[in-house]
Amino acid sequence: MHIAILTFEGYNELDSLIALGVLNRVRTDDWRVTIATPGPRVTSMNGVVIERMSTLEEACAADAVIVGSGIATREVVEDPAIMNILGSLDPSRQLIAAQCSGALVLARLGLLNGIPACTDLITKPWVVAAGVEVLNQPFYARGGIATAGGCLASHYLAAWIIARLKGHDAAEGALHYVAPVGEKEEYVKRAWRNITPYLPAPAPALR
């Protein structure tokens, strides 16, 4: 399985790299997590340069995609070269998640029609202007689309993707690993409190 984190120029390190770290707690041969960028490298809002691990085209074919956030998202959604590629994202065949201003990308792609979203407070007016209801909560998902608001909600997106693709135990293990010592039980419980309402109901046991 391939999980791609779309990461653009001016990206927010917390949004892309926390998700990368949590997702990589899954240690199986069929699990690959990449940073997908428009060019060979991107520079964060604080000057951290990272190199591309996958292309945007490869990301659009991934099993799950997280659209990362940053200070230049409004420029991203006005870039036809980028948006034309991202137009092939399809929640009918892949999980699609957005962190903070990544919700604006999903809104402009028409993926949030009739679906409320979570985003950061700075981005909220732009997402509302795009015709999307913004919720006052850290995480929301419907079907194969999820959004999170606030940098430190990025682990919710990662855990949701792991739970959907690898199951509850794998997601809980990843959350437990990154949780602060002395607060692990509380941290994991809070995460599940936010994520569980938006996970598919378990299939009934066969008799």
pLDDT band with cut points at 50, 70 and 90 for residue 123: very high
Can you say how many angstroms the Cα of residue 79 is from the centroid of all Cα atoms in its chain?
A: 21
Read off the pLDDT of residues 43-99 as tens digits, 9 standing for 90 and up. 999 999 999 999 999 999 999 999 999 999 999 999 999 999 999 999 999 999 999
Nearest to 34 by CA among 76, 77, 65, 12: 65
Asked whether the predicted pLDDT for residue 203 surpasses 70, the reply is: no
Contact 65, 59 (CB under 8 A): yes
**Backbone φ and ψ of 89, nearest 5°:** -60, 140
Read off the pLDDT of residues 11-43 as tens digits, 9 standing for 90 and up. 999 999 999 999 999 999 999 999 999 999 999
pLDDT score for 204: 52
The span from the CA of 97 to the CA of 76, in Å, is 17
Q: What does pTM read for this prediction?
A: 0.94
Nearest to 36 by CA among 45, 122, 63, 22: 63
pLDDT score for 134: 97
pLDDT score for 40: 97
pLDDT band with cut points at 50, 70 and 90 for residue 201: confident
**Backbone φ and ψ of 88, nearest 5°:** -90, 0
Q: Which residues contact 140 (CB under 8 A, 6 or more apart)?
A: 116, 117, 118, 146, 147, 198
Joined tokens for residue 99: 């962190």
Proportion of the chain above pLDDT 90, given as a percent: 96
The span from the CA of 3 to the CA of 95, in Å, is 9
Q: Can you give the three-state secondary structure of the chain, one letter per residue?
A: CEEEEECCCCECHHHHHHHHHHHCCCCCCCCEEEEECCCCEEECCCCCEEECCECHHHHHCCCEEEECCECCHHHHCCCHHHHHHHCCCCCCCCEEEEECCHHHHHHHCCCCCCCCECCCCCCHHHHHHCCCCECCCCEEEECCEEEECCHHHHHHHHHHHHHHHHCHHHHHHHHHHHCCCCCHHHHHHHHHHHHHHHCCCCCCCCC
Report, as an integer, the average pLDDT of 167-193: 96
Nearest to 118 by CA among 89, 95, 151: 151
pLDDT score for 202: 67
